[in-house]
Amino acid sequence: DGGITQSPKYLFRKEGQNVTLSCEQNLNHDAMYWYRQDPGQGLRLIYYSQIVNDFQKGDIAEGYSVSREKKESFPLTVTSAQKNPTAFYLCASSISLGLAGGREQFFGPGTRLTVL
Amino acid sequence: AQKITQTQPGMFVQEKEAVTLDCTYDTSDPSYGLFWYKQPSSGEMIFLIYQGSYDQQNATEGRYSLNFQKARKSANLVISASQLGDSAMYFCAMREDPEGGGNKLTFGTGTQLKVEL
């Protein structure tokens, strides 16, 4: 089945440790995104990538880093510099920006990160 | 200023009734897109419906329709014949400058819908 996978579903880390969240898609989408969701809030964009080997900061990039070495993969690292990392993290992908249509984003199941 | 405003933190509706979830937006861009997503308790975001700023007709997808009032900058979601499985959080989102500025979405804070028997 085509879709987006994120693993693990739940992740626990000690304060001060870096942690990497995985995101893989087999939809052949060019663009990928990372969002953060806090309780009772909407989604906020952390980073996005429109093409392999290129990515841009979103609204809340501080304390996070990403890479896009393969079209299928867009891992997110939550560094120790992120002051409040406990949150629900959602990865998404969409078709190329140059094509017509709504270009809705398709989301993975999310990873709930808890920093102790 | 908030770009997307959802003023209803929570809504209740009886099964088989219709319900309207409100969304207003703020943009100076003539070209934009509006989306509605559903988030069940499992956490995954499910795309429901899309409305482009130049679309002449309101979007419809099965039991979902979007009441697009451009002059008022509102894009309300209407769910007809509510089902128990519609109980979830609903988010309105906007994409500005889709041709040049990327496909970034700005989300509202959501409306929690509860469908009752």
Contact check, Cβ <8 Å, B33/A102: yes
Residue B117 distance to chain A (closest CA, Å): 25
Asked if B86 and B69 count as a contact pair (C-beta separation under 8 A), the reply is no
User: Each residue of B40-74: pLDDT tens digit?
Assistant: 999 999 999 999 998 989 999 999 999 999 999 99
What is the C-alpha separation between B73 and A33, in angstroms, rounded? 27
Coil/strand/helix, residue B15: coil
What is the C-alpha separation between A49 and A27, in angstroms, rounded? 15
pLDDT > 80? residue B8 = yes
What is the C-alpha separation between B35 and B48, in angstroms, rounded? 7
CA A78 vs. chain centroid, Å, equals 10
**What confidence tier does B97 reach under pLDDT thresholds 50, 70, 90?**
low
pLDDT of residue B100: 55
What is the C-alpha separation between A20 and A16, in angstroms, rounded? 13
Residue A58 distance to chain B (closest CA, Å): 8
pLDDT of residue A102: 60
Strand partners, A114: A12
Higher pLDDT, A79 or A100: A79
User: Each residue of A93-110: pLDDT tens digit?
Assistant: 998 655 545 678 999 999
Partner-chain residue, chosen from B44, B104, B105, that has the shortest CB–CB distance to A110: B44
pLDDT of residue B62: 97
Name residue, tokens 């969701």: A37
pLDDT > 90? residue B13 = yes
